[in-house]
Amino acid sequence: MIRIPLPALRAALAAAALALAACSSDPEIVCAAGEQVCGGACAAVEIDSSNCGACGAACGAYQECNAGACECGPGTVECGGGCVDLSSDPASCGACGVACGTGQVCAGGVCASACPGGQRSCGGACADLSSDRWNCGACGVRCDRGESCREGACRPDVYVACFATDDVRPANAALRAGLPRAAGDGPIALGVSAGRLWAAASLSHSLVAFPLDLGAAGVETMLGGGDLEALSVSGDRLWVANAAAGSLVVYDASARRVVDEVVLGTTGVNPRWVAFANGRAYAALYGLDATSGGQEVAVIDPATGEILRRVDLRALADAPGLPFPAHAVVAGGRVFVTLANLRLGEWGYYTDPAGSGKLAVIDPAADDALSSIDLGDGCLNPGGLAASADGRMLWVACGGSAAVLPVELGDAGVTLHAPVAAPDFSAPGNIALCGRDAYVTDQWSGSVWRFDPSTGERLAAGEICPASQAGWAWAADVACAP
Distance between CA 394 and CA 420 in Å, rounded?
A: 13
Q: Strand (E) positions, 212-365?
A: 219-222, 228-234, 237-242, 247-252, 257-263, 271-277, 280-285, 296-300, 307-312, 325-331, 334-339, 342-344, 350-353, 358-363
* CATH superfamily ID and name for 156-480: YVTN repeat-like/Quinoprotein amine dehydrogenase (2.130.10.10)
Compute the distance between CA of residue 87 and CA of residue 322 in angstroms, rounded to an integer: 57
Write the pLDDT tens digit of every residue in 324-360. 999 999 999 999 999 999 999 999 999 999 999 999 9
Closest CA to 167 of 155, 185, 152: 185
d(CA 52, CA 429): 31
Answer yes or no: is pLDDT of 106 > 90.
yes
pLDDT tens column, 445-456: 999 999 999 999
**Other C-beta atoms lying within 10 Å of the C-beta of residue 263:** 13
- Give the C-alpha separation, 323 to 372, whole Å: 11
Average pLDDT over residues 83-103: 96
pLDDT at site 225: 76
Res. 187: pLDDT tops 70 = yes
| H-run or E-run covering 387 | strand 382-387
Greatest mean pLDDT among 29-43, 50-64, 428-442 lies in: 428-442
**Which of the pair, 55 or 40, is modelled with greater confidence?**
55
Return phi, psi of residue 156, to 5°: -70, 155
Q: What is the pLDDT of residues 301-332, one digit of tens each?
A: 999 999 999 999 999 999 999 999 999 999 99
As a whole number, the mean pLDDT across the chain is: 92
- Domain extents for the chain? 7-72, 85-144, 156-480
* Cβ neighbours around 361 below 10 Å, total: 18
**Band (30; pLDDT cuts 50, 70, 90):** low
User: How many C-beta neighbours within 10 Å does residue 235 have?
Assistant: 12
* Mean per-residue pLDDT, 406-419: 95
Q: Average pLDDT for residues 414-428, to the nearest whole number?
A: 94
Checking if the pLDDT of 20 tops 50, the result is no
Contact 476, 163 (CB under 8 A): yes
Looking at the predicted structure, is the pLDDT value of residue 113 above 80?
Answer: yes
Torsion of CA 407, 413, 298, 397, to 10 degrees: -10
Cβ neighbours for 10, distance < 8 A, ≥ 6 positions apart:
none
Q: What is the pLDDT of residue 9?
A: 38
- What does the pLDDT read at residue 267? 77
Q: Residues 419-432: what's their mean pLDDT?
A: 95
Cα dihedral sign for 41, 45, 46, 51? positive
Determine the Cα–Cα distance for residues 74 and 86; give it in Å rounded to an integer.
12
Least confident range from 12-16, 257-261, 322-326, 470-474: namely 12-16
223-227, 232-236, 305-309: least confident range? 223-227
- DSSP-derived 3-state class of residue 429: strand
Q: Give me the pLDDT at residue 28, please.
A: 64
pLDDT digits (tens, 9 = 90+) for 271-289: 999 999 999 999 999 999 9
Based on the number of CB atoms within 10 Å of its own CB, is 110 exposed (0-12), middle (13-18) or buried (19 or more)?
Answer: middle
Q: How confident is the model at residue 1 (pLDDT cuts 50, 70, 90)?
A: very low
Contact 286, 294 (CB under 8 A): yes
Q: Which helix (H) or strand (E) holds 9?
A: helix 7-18
Q: Which of 232, 155, 252 is nearest to 189 (CA)?
A: 232
pLDDT of 239 over the 70 cut? yes
pLDDT category at 264 given cuts 50, 70, 90 is: very high
CA distance 190 to 464: 15
**Residue 241 to residue 229: CA distance in whole angstroms:** 5
Q: What is the pLDDT of residue 266?
A: 79
C-alpha span between 448 and 451 (Å, rounded): 10
Give the whole-angstrom CA distance, residue 166 versus residue 199: 11
pLDDT tops 80 at residue 39: yes
Query: Is residue 59's pLDDT more than 80?
Result: yes
Please determine, for residue 248, whether its predicted confidence score (pLDDT) is greater than 80: yes
Model confidence at 32, pLDDT cuts 50, 70, 90, reads: low
